[in-house]
Amino acid sequence: MERFARLDWVSIFLAVAATLMGVVVLYGGGITGEELAQRKLLWLVLCVVVMLVFANINYQLLGSFAPIIYASGILILLLVLVPFIGKEVKGARSWIRFFGLGFQPAEFMKLVLVITLSKYLVLRESEIGKLKELIIPTVLAVVPALLIGVQPDLGGAVMFMAILFGMLFIGGANTSVLFGFAIIGFISLFTPMFLEYERYVIVDEIYNALREEHFRLADAVRILNFEVWEVAENLNYTTRLVQDKTLVTWAKETLSQGENLKIFWQTAAQIEKNSPSFLRDMLRNSTVMIAIGATGIFFYGLGALGNFMIGARWMRRVANIALIIGLSFSAGFMFNKFINFKPHQVIRIVSFVNPDKFQKGAGYQLRHSLITVGSGKFAGKGLFKGDMTKGETPFLPEWYNDFIFSVVGEQLGFWGAAVLLLLLFGLILRAINIAATSKDDFGAMLASGIALIFFLHVFINIGISVGILPVTGIPLSFVSYGGSHMLLCFICVGILINIYRRRFINA
């Protein structure tokens, strides 16, 4: 009875209540939603059982076996990439199926990374302020991020880097160093994405320039749309277009004809010439990028030498700034040369800036998400009365997963969405409180990492739904439909309960 009383009923209530809100809004989503709601209820029963199991497993054992747990997680991620083991869904090979049940290893790898980093940061607590101590944590996060990125799942890969930075900050790493790494990472990703975006936004201009004298080529450009660049650079490129395959094949054959291909590239070059862009031309110029990178590294060497010889600390600060600039442009050049982002990945990232330019795909989803969440106003349309998710082709695609918050806003309005936010952020604050009252450093780091996982999912998913963040496949914890992430969330709650309970044992 005492064991039962020491369960953290606050965390259990918040988690179950948020999940039941997800069940309710799913049930209001038509016949498809009713089926998903029933499945989510079954998952809830399983998740509660698993939560109670983890609530009774000493969390300190997780730290003791952290290397084995991490290695096992990496092995499973590698198995996902094996064709006859991993299952491809919506263009990403990210699933494994056992006995008819599918799960996404990437979801559970988030907790694995938190466990591993928590153990490492506790062991190296006194040294973590040094730059060299950041190498191992970075490798631990980059390896799964790369494996998930090649599935491809760009949103999932970025999540791992966010977890890394959050855990290092919590663990006491030098904030200046973290800020520098953040700048380098941003410019590294920004360079290839910006250059790809610059190409995508002129597709309509290319079509308009061609349609008078080269109408067949113009039609081919219109059909291939944003993937015209990949086809033009690699005639064997397999498009993700879902329209008439015969039409797509015709467009590829038309574009690939020698004279047509030449006209296409000449037209594109002329349009870019007529619309000069200093940033585009600088980032595309390999010589300039290498020169800026090399100059920054050179001045870092001079500053470091000056600081060593005359002890001027300001020279060290200038040297660090020069190093950040040098590494940023060097990394941007390398990423642009060797990282090939797919059209849908770039469009997902940039479409939230101008959704009207991308009225299909991610832009379409964002526009309809904003309409859906706003249609509920303050009081909502009422339970089960939402009409944006009904029918075989709903107004809002992926409403039951990535855009579930928009459906909450539609059915329950501002006040219902506010209640959901109170439940979710209440659980995050509860996790922080458990971390603060933990009797050992590993428990505190682990609880903080779990709070970070919840926060990132809530912040990113809701940010996507209301248009302040680019569209990525990040579910809303406890609320979205999806067994893998839901199970991860309840495992995390089970660990929180265990940390909460063991403070009585350690007292």
* pLDDT tens readout for residues 327-342: 888 888 887 776 666 6
In a shared domain, residues 467 and 372 = yes
Say if residue 3's pLDDT is above 80. no
In a shared domain, residues 210 and 252 = yes
**Last residue in a domain, options 153, 173, 193:** 173
In a domain, 168, yes or no: yes
> Phi-psi category of 267—alpha, beta or left, where left has phi over 0 and alpha has psi -120 to 50?
alpha
**Which position has the token pair 């428990």?**
443
In a shared domain, residues 51 and 70 = no
**pLDDT of res. 507:** 44
Question: Do the Cβ atoms of 241 and 343 come closer than 8 Å?
Answer: no
In a shared domain, residues 41 and 79 = no
Q: Write the pLDDT tens digit of every residue in 32-53.
A: 677 888 888 998 999 999 999 9
**Which residue range forms the structural domain that includes residue 100?**
65-104+117-173
Long-range residue pairs from 217-222, CB within 8 A, at least 24 positions apart, any chain: 217/254, 217/255, 217/260, 217/263, 217/264, 219/251, 219/254, 220/250, 220/251, 220/252, 220/254, 220/255, 220/260, 221/251, 221/255, 221/264
187 token code pair: 């410019």
In a shared domain, residues 70 and 98 = yes
**pLDDT of res. 71:** 92
Model confidence, pTM: 0.80
**pLDDT of res. 468:** 77
In a shared domain, residues 370 and 254 = no
Query: Would strands 101-103 and 92-98 be described as parallel, antiparallel, or unpaired?
Result: antiparallel
What is the chain's mean pLDDT, rounded? Answer: 81
What residues are paired with 88 via a beta bridge? 93
Q: How far apart are CA 490 and CA 16, in angstroms?
A: 9
Q: How far apart are CA 147 and CA 458, in angstroms?
A: 24
Q: How far apart are CA 118 and CA 100, in angstroms?
A: 34
Q: Which residue has the higher pLDDT, 355 or 421?
A: 421
What is the percentage of the chain residues whose pLDDT exceeds 90?
17
Mean pLDDT of 65-81: 87
CB neighbours of 359 closer than 8 A, spacing ≥ 6? 367
In a domain, 28, yes or no: yes
Mean pLDDT of 317-331: 84
Q: How confident is the model at residue 15 (pLDDT cuts 50, 70, 90)?
A: very high
In a domain, 299, yes or no: no
Q: How confident is the model at residue 246 (pLDDT cuts 50, 70, 90)?
A: confident
In a domain, 346, yes or no: no
**pLDDT of res. 450:** 94
Say if residue 462's pLDDT is above 80. yes
In a domain, 219, yes or no: yes
Q: Write the pLDDT tens digit of every residue in 76-110.
A: 888 887 777 767 666 566 667 766 666 788 888 99
In a domain, 443, yes or no: no
In a domain, 365, yes or no: yes
Give me the number of domains the chain comprises: 3
In a shared domain, residues 136 and 244 = no
In a shared domain, residues 146 and 88 = yes
What is the percentage of the chain residues whose pLDDT exceeds 70?
82
**pLDDT of res. 194:** 82
**pLDDT of res. 92:** 61
Say if residue 224's pLDDT is above 60. yes
283-292, 354-363, 428-437, 468-477: range with highest mean pLDDT: 428-437
Q: Write the pLDDT tens digit of every residue in 205-215.
A: 888 888 888 88
Backbone angles phi, psi at 353, to 5 degrees: -75, -40
Mean pLDDT of 453-466: 90
In a shared domain, residues 97 and 46 = no
Question: Do the Cβ atoms of 411 and 386 come closer than 8 Å?
Answer: yes
Q: How far apart are CA 105 and CA 328, in angstroms?
A: 32
Q: Quote the distance between the C-alpha of residue 385 and its chain's center.
A: 31
Identity of residue 129: G
In a shared domain, residues 76 and 158 = yes
Mean pLDDT of 306-313: 71
Cα distances (angstroms) measured from residue 121 to each of 48, 159, 440: 30, 19, 13
In a domain, 267, yes or no: yes
Say if residue 131's pLDDT is above 80. no
Q: How confident is the model at residue 111 (pLDDT cuts 50, 70, 90)?
A: very high
Q: How far apart are CA 241 and CA 220, in angstroms?
A: 13
**Last residue in a domain, options 274, 298, 320:** 274
Among the listed ranges 12-16, 81-85, 110-114, which one has the minimum average pLDDT value? 81-85
**pLDDT of res. 68:** 93
In a shared domain, residues 248 and 357 = no
Q: How far apart are CA 158 and CA 114, in angstroms?
A: 15
**pLDDT of res. 492:** 94
**pLDDT of res. 227:** 80
Mean pLDDT of 60-75: 90
**pLDDT of res. 390:** 63
**Last residue in a domain, options 173, 190, 211:** 173
Say if residue 154's pLDDT is above 60. yes
In a shared domain, residues 470 and 357 = yes
